[in-house]
Amino acid sequence: MPSILSDWKDTIAAIATPPGIGGLGIIRVSGDEAYSIVQKIFPSKNLNEQPPNTIHFGLIKDKDEILDEVVLSLFKNPHSFTGEDVIEISCHGSPYILQQVLDSLIRRGARMAKPGEFTQRAFLNGKMDLAQAEAVADIINAETQAAHDTAMNQLRGGFSQELNSLRERLIHFTALLELELDFSDEDVEFADRTQLNELLNEIDKKTEELIQSFALGNAIKKGVSVAIIGRPNAGKSTLLNALLNEERAIVSDIAGTTRDTIEETLNIKGILFRLIDTAGIREHTSDTIESMGIERSKQNAERAGIIINVRDLMNPEPDPEWLETYQSKLIEVNNKLDAYTKKMESEGKPIPPVSNGISAKNLATIQWLKDALYDKALSGKKTDGAIVSNVRHYEALLKTRESLLAVKSGLEQGLPVDLITIDVRRCLHYLGEITGVIEVDRDILGAIFSKFCIGK
């Protein structure tokens, strides 16, 4: 493992709290020299004489200048977040003080930590597997309850333990298959084929389950984009405002009011929706800016996870033909039900039943639409059990499954053992990539941890 990083033995330091003024600001120091470096600026007590997991009040001094009154929390390896000696310095939350204390530490031998380096060390020191380390970033970035719960589950071990134990069992069979290779002249079978098949089916079932959960996991983590489209003046912007319950977009009775797209987020029962209000679509326009807007509306509809097609009951027009392609992600609403009802009444006509009717001006009439959005986002997606929300895991699972199927068909066709073991090894590799039990490529590790903020 140490080969992955050449400087992983340095003692690192960083401000762990967000930038800006706050009640407290925390500096984290981790590494073999953590105690001796902090001691140089904390003359109040002899740190080496203090028991681990204790806190200590005292002064931070740079030469003769008092920088702050602080509280130190001491953690001795391996019982710390990183698995190394760690000291957390709780200062007053002034960016100036924090920077001064950090500079003093750096001048005395600490190195500025890189983004995610504390978590990276936790991984390198075996405090957590890779999937758990990635969950730390997800927890910090979680914007909704559901995203937080998914990340928390992953941090607690989630599906890693299960995958690891399946992998261990597969390793056992690989060893037996390899042994058969050594005795290839004698035509013996050490690996029980029925048991091997059972294990393969078990892994297949588990990976399939996790692969299926990704649609939901991705929706929870990234949010679901919802394009609000329709003819000019249908009430799209009014609907956006109603869903958000704020006057976000300009509404007017002039057709073509919205020229560019407007994006806002909405949290419905823990799932994040990115609502996109678009320019009204009409087939023919000579206005260049409007036609650019219309083109953009189409692109948004194509990319969106869900499309709300707003129709105008007061001015019914056929839907754009291209919309048919997106049936599966479409929710239709018939807007201006209030005006329509009034019109029919004034004309003395019976009011025909209107399906999916709303009045975007009246919040009470769109409640069902929020439920429909939530249901559509979850439709056909499992909500119980482990949820995969990480693209890297998802891709590794797909590759695991691919090699697994190759092993199964190889066994069915009675292929020679040396060919089968190649696919078994690939399967082991991809399973191991998820939790990081195999050495993960240095570039991939770099990419994973660079998404963290400094100090985490």
Q: Provide the minimum distance between the beta carbon of 252 and ligand GTP in the complex, in angstroms, as a whole number.
A: 5
Nearer to Mg ion, 74 or 226 (CB): 226
Contact 342, 301 (CB under 8 A): no
Partner in contact with 93, chosen from ligand GTP, Mg ion, none, beta carbon below 5 to 8 Å by kind: none
Give the HSE-up count for residue 9: Cα atoms under 13 Å, Cβ half-sphere: 4
Candidates 300, 359, 403, 435; binder of ligand GTP (CB under 6 A) is 359
Spatial separation of the C-alpha atoms in residues 130 and 112, rounded to whole Å: 23
Q: What residues between 245 and 274 interact with ligand GTP by CB under 6 A?
A: 251-253, 255-258
Cα separation, 271 vs 289, whole angstroms: 34
**Is the CB of 71 or the CB of 255 nearer to ligand GTP?**
255
Residue 335 binding ligand GTP, by CB under 6 A? yes
Q: Which is nearer to ligand GTP, 27 or 366 (CB)?
A: 366
Q: How many residues bind ligand GTP (CB under 6 A)?
A: 24
User: String of b and e for 232-245 (b: at least 16 CB within 10 Å)?
Assistant: bbbbbbbbbbbbee
Answer for which of 31, 217, 223, 280 binds ligand GTP (CB under 6 A) is 280
**Amino acid in the structure at residue 269:** K
φ, ψ for residue 357, nearest 5 deg? -80, 140
Cβ 318 to ligand GTP shortest distance, Å? 16
Is 335 in contact with 311 (CB distance < 8 Å)?
yes
Nearest approach in angstroms of CB 277 to Mg ion is 6
83 Rama class: left (phi>0) / alpha (psi -120 to 50) / beta: left
Q: Which is closer to ligand GTP, CB of 233 or CB of 435?
A: 233
Report in angstroms how near the CB of residue 236 gets to Mg ion at its nearest. Answer: 5
What is the β-pairing status of strands 12-15 and 111-112?
parallel
* Separation of alpha carbons 146 and 267, rounded Å: 10
Contact yes or no for 30/7 (Cβ under 8 A): no
Give the shortest CB-255-to-ligand GTP separation in angstroms.
5
DSSP helix/strand/coil, 430: helix
Q: Helix 417-435 and helix 391-412: axis angle, to 10°?
A: 160
114-122, 159-167, 333-341, 373-381 -> range binding ligand GTP (CB under 6 A): 333-341
Query: Closest Cα partner for 126 from 398, 405, 437, 344?
Result: 437
List the alpha helices (DSSP H) in 125-259.
Answer: 130-141, 145-155, 160-182, 193-222, 236-244
3-class state of residue 293 by DSSP: helix
Question: Among 213, 241, 258, 335, which residue interacts with Mg ion (rule: CB under 5 A)?
Answer: 258
352 vs 394: CA distance, rounded Å: 49
Residue facing ligand GTP at closest CB distance: 280
Query: C-beta of 260: minimal distance to ligand GTP in Å?
Result: 10
* Span from 14-22, 23-31, 182-190, 257-265 in contact with Mg ion (CB under 5 A): 257-265
d(CA 308, CA 224): 13
Is the Cβ of residue 66 or residue 254 nearer to ligand GTP in the bound state?
A: 254
Please identify which residue in 60, 128, 360, 440 interacts with ligand GTP, judged by CB under 6 A: 360
80 counts as binding Mg ion under rule CB under 5 A: no
Q: Does 297 bind Mg ion (CB under 5 A)?
A: no
Residue 89 structure tokens: 């310095």
233 binds Mg ion (CB under 5 A): no
CA-closest candidate to residue 388, choices 207, 225, 233: 207
237: contact with Mg ion by CB under 5 A: yes
Q: Closest Cα to residue 234, out of 341, 124, 312?
A: 312
Closest contact distance (angstroms) between CB of 294 and Mg ion is 12
338 binding partner (options Mg ion, ligand GTP, none; Cβ < 5 to 8 Å by kind): ligand GTP
Stretch that binds Mg ion, among 34-42, 55-63, 233-241, 418-426 (CB under 5 A): 233-241
Compose the 94-123 pattern: x for residues touching ligand GTP by CB under 6 A, - for all others: ------------------------------
What are the backbone dihedrals phi and psi of residue 367, each rounded to the nearest 5 degrees, phi first?
-55, -40
17 binds, among ligand GTP, Mg ion, none (CB under 5 to 8 A by kind): none
**Residues in region 213-252 near ligand GTP by CB under 6 A:** 230, 232-238, 251-252
Closest CA to 203 of 171, 155, 179: 171
Closest distance to ligand GTP from the beta carbon of 355 (Å): 16
Q: How far is CA 158 from CA 8, 153, 155, 217, 388, in A?
A: 28, 5, 7, 13, 9
DSSP state of 20: S
Beta carbon of residue 249, minimum distance to Mg ion (angstroms, whole number): 6
311 binds, among Mg ion, ligand GTP, none (CB under 5 to 8 A by kind): none
Per CB under 6 A, contacts with ligand GTP among 24-63 are none
Binding region for ligand GTP (CB under 6 A): 230, 232-238, 251-253, 255-258, 279-280, 335-336, 338-339, 359-361
Residues that bind Mg ion (CB under 5 A): 236-237, 257-258
